Amino acid sequence: MSLKDYHDLLIELRNENISYKQIAERLGYKRDTIKHYCQKNNIRGIEIDNSIETREQNYIKRFVEKFPNFEYVSGFNTYDSKIKIKCKTCGHIQERHANSNCERIMICDNCVELERVERLKAKEIERANRVRKENEYTETICVECSKTFLRAGNNQRYCSNECYTNAHKVIHNKICKECGNSFNTYHDGNLYCSDKCRRKCLNRMHTTSKDKRIRRNGKPDYSISLKKLYNMHKGICYLCGEKTNSKDIQITDEGYYIAGDSYPSIDHVIPIAKGGTHTWDNVKLAHRHCNSVKRDSIFYQEDNRQFRIF
């Protein structure tokens, strides 16, 4: 059913001075819909016959009962007009909509601003007291050098940055991940004795990780290096039993390295082409010449220390 079907009922309810909100709840409509229909069809209720002064007095009576902290000043003509009210707490006069008496609470703008200013002042005073307390100097003893100094605040334990640094220095003895030499460091997470070793290790890991043949046979061991293998086998070629020469290398004018036949190299016992892995149990030291002769073959050592190629 539309509101036209309730036209007579609306006139009757408004003559009984029933509010738009109560009518909307009874009929199942929104309050603004009921109000718009009544104003459009001049259904004003019993107050339409009253004078402006009488309606204003009735409005003031309802306003004071609902908002005892405010005082009505002036401005009421209809419920669509704006009125002036005065806060009884601070005396501030502000403008509100006449229909604002449907609100549950009414707040004074000036009181809200005064409360905000008071909170800011309290925070500023608290901050000033905290700064003043931190700047109060007291005599104390440095826990590092045992000298007496003036302390600002309660958490200062060292007389200078040097004493603080010395107190937190812890020397760790570590083994270099690349060259295997022992070194001292202040950082427990340091794995290399120098930037040179770090760059050398990272470059080798990058080169090894790009070799698809090595990664196809299993996860490679990135810690394998020629220097470590040379020290492990004491420079002896496992194929011929002769000592390798790490100085058998030439550098051209263009900066290229040319290794000789006796230069050491890393050899895979089981070749990568035949399923060998790049791990410590499958690598040995060999002359560059011996390694090139062996190529992708498998050597077996017999009792007479002779190698056979398969």
DSSP letters spanning 152-172: ESSS---SSHHHHHHHT---E
The total of structural domains in the chain comes to 3
Query: Which residue did the predictor score with more confidence, 136 or 233?
Result: 233
Mean pLDDT of 135-148: 80
Distance of CA 181 to the CA centre of its chain: 39
β-pairing verdict for 283-287 and 264-268: antiparallel
Q: Could you tell me if 44 and 14 are in contact, meaning their C-beta atoms sit under 8 angstroms apart?
A: yes
Rounded mean pLDDT of 31-36?
A: 84
Asked which of 11-20, 172-181, 229-238 is least confident by mean pLDDT, the reply is 11-20
Of 44, 51, 48, the C-alpha closest to 20 is: 44
Are residues 100 and 152 part of one domain? no
Tell me how far apart the alpha carbons of residues 289 and 296 are, in angstroms, rounded to a whole number: 14
Q: Are residues 102 and 7 in the same domain?
A: yes
301 closest CA partner among 241, 219, 216: 241
User: For residue 85, which phi and psi values (nearest 5 degrees)?
Assistant: -125, 160
The verdict on residue 240 lying in a domain is yes
pLDDT, greater one: 115 or 178: 115
Same domain, 147 and 231: no
Q: What is the average pLDDT across 127-156?
A: 77
Residue 146 lies in a domain: yes
Residues 15, 103, single domain; the answer is yes
Q: Are residues 78 and 144 located together in one domain of the fold? A: no
* Residues 76 and 141 grouped into a single domain: no
Boundary (domain end) residue, out of 61, 93, 108: 108
pLDDT tens for residues 67-115?
Answer: 888 998 988 887 778 889 999 988 899 888 887 655 567 888 899 999 9
Does residue 35 fall inside a structural domain?
A: yes
Residue 252 has pLDDT above 90, yes or no: no
Residues 157 and 249 reside in one and the same domain? no
Q: Please, are residues 106 and 70 in contact by the beta-carbon 8 Å criterion?
A: yes
**Is the same domain home to 103 and 144?**
no
Residues 101, 153 within the same domain = no
CATH number of the domain at 233, please: 1.10.30
Judgement on whether residues 12 and 104 belong to the same structural domain of the protein: yes
Residue 96 domain-assigned (yes or no)? yes
Q: Tokens 């709840």 sit at which residue?
A: 25
68 and 143 in a common domain: no
For residue 275, is it within any domain?
Answer: yes
* Structural domain contains residue 203: no
Same domain for 9 and 97, yes or no, is: yes
Whether 304 shows a pLDDT value over 50: the answer reads no
Domain assignment of residue 294, given as a range: 224-309
- Residues β-bridged to residue 175: 182
Residue at 212 is within a domain:
no
Structural domain includes residue 192 = no
